Amino acid sequence: MAPVFTSHQGEPPKSCLPSYFLSHPRPTCPATPSAAPGAGRLLPKQVLSGPPWMLFTLRGIGWGKCAIWPRRVSSVSCIHDASPSERSPMPSRHSSLARFWWTAALLTGALGCVDDAPSQPLEPRRAELAESNLVSNPSFETGTAGWASWQGTLLRETSTAAPGGSYVARVTRSTGTLYSLDDSPDTVPSAVAGTRYEASASVAAGSSSAVGKPLVIVLRERNASGAIVSVWESEPVSLKTTFQTLSVQATVQQTGDTLDVYLLQDNAVAGDAFLADAVNLQKVSTEPVLLWSDEFDGPAGSLPNPAVWNLETGGMWDHGRTLQQYTARPENCQLDGNGHLRIIARRERYTGEDGVTRDYTSARIQTQGLMERRYGYVEVRLKAPTGKGTWPAAWMMGSTGEWPANGEFDLFEGEGDAPTQAHGTLHAPGLAYGWDSNGGLVDMAPANVGDAWHTFGMFWDSTRVEWYVDRVKRMTYTKGSGGTWVFDQPNYVLLNLALGDIGGDPSGTTFPQVLEVDYVRWYAAPPTSP
């Protein structure tokens, strides 16, 4: 699948959603993103618990950013001429009561925030349901299967004005000031991190009392335990007697989460009803700014591409502190035939060409002199070993000069003694930035880093360096904030699996231990704009 990438600039105001969006008991529902100019609001943290009146009061405060990133590309590729899209800031809506509850929520930790961008309501037109639509019953032509209502009743009726066919859904308020039309079960039961979705629907007032009332389309991401990960909401439309189209876009934050979509009317009173039709949910693709990649496609058991990768050998790395002998054998470094590189550490007594004998073997590969670039965003998708004594790493160094004068970017370092932790670090003369401070540590407890695939990336230009985990920025270092800046030369990529030293003692560990790498990609821009 071709990679996708967009970035949005600006700092639109935050919006905090009613607790309905976050924790109401309701049937399952899918995720739906909005189209760009109406990119939706993103709530990037586990969000919110709290009384509906508090969270609803807080609507309309904050900022945020969104991005879309790929899972794989089909082959090594170089793609140009795609520029990131921009999103302009929108004016925030504040009230004294909102500011009061915003402060209270920050103090209690009860609030998460979402980013805003305007949706553009369209005037009535015949809706075209995309062939890639994931919604199984988008126009209610076969009844109301796959749909339910929260705090409302759901019926189907014929309509000559139906945008998507001959029928529409009629949702009538039963109780409360909020009521909804929900997909059930969730349209996307297992999403992939970085995938962008777009959802849209056609809506109209179903009663005179609902005319002028606000209605939004929402999508929500939840993890396997049902906890909220992210929520996106479109700008509201004011219901009319004629159909309008509204939409929202979103980018999945965590692989394996579910996405649900729903329509929600606010300020509801007895007698309110709305009509809905032509509900679309589909993946969104945009051109990437991908400069280079290795997807590790090749026959099982073969070494990585020799036009790109050098295999280093020897048994005295790190001044003899580590325990492995690096080899150039496929027994220690090979493709698996399914688009992955495997760096394999083994317990075996081995004497290398340097005459050094060690009790373990492994591999270290790098692109020096073969593939080097200056500036951009380098991302590695990998699954780390978790055995005690392992020290896996994905990193970069400047192409000329001796360490640390050449500079070093550690995209990922793991340590067998602390298998739940991932580190990012910068090294230069007078500088060791990150590791376990300044945002350079991510602890995934209770999970181990190696329990799932994760992406680790580093962006740098002439003024700053940023570290990302699963496409979320974790650390920023700016030029002039300490040490000597040495990061203006081309860099090359290194991948290795060491044993011992900070990884701990591997003597009680079961071997082989494997560092798996899905891809290495070099982009022109980071996952979120500065």
- Which residues are the active-site residues? 408, 413
DSSP SS3 for 417? coil
CB–CB of 30/188 below 8 Å? yes
CB–CB of 272/239 below 8 Å? no
Buried b / exposed e across 262-299, counting CB within 10 Å, b at 16+?
bbbbbebeeebbbbbbbbbbbbbbbebbbbbbbbbbbe
Nearest to 249 by CA among 312, 198, 193: 198
Quote the longest CA-to-CA distance of the chain.
88
CB–CB of 365/497 below 8 Å? no
CB–CB of 46/507 below 8 Å? no
Q: Which two tokens stand for residue 73?
A: 């590309």
| CA count, 13 A, side-chain hemisphere, 453 | 17
CB-based contacts of 40, cutoff 8 Å, min separation 6: 33, 34, 66, 117, 119, 219, 232, 233, 234, 248, 249, 250
* DSSP per residue, 440-488: -EEE-TTS-GGGS-EEEEEEE-SSEEEEEETTEEEEEEETTSSS-----
Bridge partners, 233 (sequence order): 218
CB–CB of 171/181 below 8 Å? yes
| Cα 29–Cα 144–Cα 166 angle in degrees, nearest 5 | 120
> 471's torsion region: left (phi>0), alpha (psi -120 to 50) or beta?
left
Nearest to 181 by CA among 33, 29, 297, 71: 29
CB-based contacts of 138, cutoff 8 Å, min separation 6: 129, 164, 278, 279, 280
d(CA 171, CA 293): 49
Nearest to 115 by CA among 83, 69, 71, 67: 67
CB–CB of 244/122 below 8 Å? yes
CB–CB of 112/16 below 8 Å? yes
CB–CB of 70/28 below 8 Å? no
Token pair 């030029």: residue: 479
DSSP SS3 for 58? coil
Q: Which two tokens stand for residue 373?
A: 């670039």
